Amino acid sequence: MSVDLEKIEVATKMILEAIGENPNRDGLKKTPKRVAKAFEEICSGYFKNPKEVLNDALFESTNNEMVVVRNIEFYSMCEHHILPFFGRVHVAYIPDKKVVGLSKIPRMVEVFARRLQIQEQLTEQIADAIMDVVKPKGVGVVIHARHMCMEMRGVKTKHSYTSSSALRGNFLEDKIKEEFFNLINAPTQNHF
Ligand code: ZN
């Protein structure tokens, strides 16, 4: 299963005509095809199962300390305007007998991000997928993102970040919540 490339090509040509462009001029001739291929990639998350990604790499563990994966970059499209929003995700969980391969968390984030999204929903879906599959004691997810639908149009709030968080299980407890926010806000040396 994949996106309907031909349909996207037809629609793109219609948009070009609608804005007063000439879809047959040299620069635009191949644009409908390119747009279709771009959407195939940008929306590939509809054809993948994020929970399967996690399920593939579950390991028994006695670790019960917080595991944190910071600064996962993502690119998504807002479902209200089909314009990009992008930023960084921080994910943490406290295992309960099981851990998940660390590289699977960014891959799972990508599956959810490559769909039409709203930031709050993306945040919750990531937290809930980890709760469902890894069954940890708790999960925390924070996303900071820039929205092109806010910066290029409408209110034009340039470079403003939108933050959202989802806390599950024992991450709702004050002490753990505090540890989580301290860890994701701690300065990183060398990497930036
Ligand atoms: Zn939007």
Domain extent at residue 32: 5-42
Verify that 87 and 37 share a domain, yes or no: no
Of all residues in the chain, what percent carry a pLDDT higher than 70? 96
State the DSSP code for 170. G
Q: Give tens-digit pLDDT for 120-173.
A: 999 999 999 999 999 999 999 999 999 999 998 877 777 788 999 999 999 999
Distances (CA, A) of 116 to 19, 22, 79, 113, 122: 23, 28, 5, 8, 10
Task: State residue 74's pLDDT score.
Answer: 98
Verify that 27 and 61 share a domain, yes or no: no
Q: Give tens-digit pLDDT for 23-50.
A: 999 999 999 999 999 999 999 999 999 9
Average pLDDT rounded to a whole number, residues 98-126: 97
Task: State residue 159's pLDDT score.
Answer: 77
Verify that 151 and 169 share a domain, yes or no: yes
Give me ligand 1 centre to Cα 154, in Å. 10
Using pLDDT thresholds of 50, 70 and 90, give the confidence band for residue 189: low
Average pLDDT rounded to a whole number, residues 45-59: 94
Verify that 35 and 126 share a domain, yes or no: no
Strand stretches in the chain, DSSP E = 58-60, 67-78, 84-94, 98-100, 116-117, 138-147, 162-169
Residues labelled as active-site residues? 78-81, 119, 147, 149
Give me ligand 1 centre to Cα 167, in Å. 24
Distance CA 110, CA 112 (A): 5
Using pLDDT thresholds of 50, 70 and 90, give the confidence band for residue 82: very high
Task: Please state the pTM of the whole predicted model.
Answer: 0.93
Give me ligand 1 centre to Cα 112, in Å. 17
Average pLDDT rounded to a whole number, residues 65-72: 96
43's tokens: 């929306």
Task: State residue 158's pLDDT score.
Answer: 74
Verify that 38 and 105 share a domain, yes or no: no
Output the domain CATH number for residue 124: 3.30.1130.10
Give me ligand 1 centre to Cα 22, in Å. 27
Give me ligand 1 centre to Cα 14, in Å. 22
Q: Does a structural domain hold residue 190?
A: no
Using pLDDT thresholds of 50, 70 and 90, give the confidence band for residue 192: very low
Average pLDDT rounded to a whole number, residues 82-92: 97
Give me ligand 1 centre to Cα 33, in Å. 24
Residue-averaged pLDDT of the chain:
94
Taking the CA atoms of residue 182, residue 146, residue 103 and residue 177 in that order, the dihedral angle to the nearest 10 degrees is 20
- The yes-or-no verdict on residue 191 having pLDDT over 60 is no
Give me ligand 1 centre to Cα 118, in Å. 8
Number of domains in the chain: 2
Using pLDDT thresholds of 50, 70 and 90, give the confidence band for residue 188: low
Verify that 71 and 25 share a domain, yes or no: no
Task: State residue 187's pLDDT score.
Answer: 76
Task: State residue 190's pLDDT score.
Answer: 54
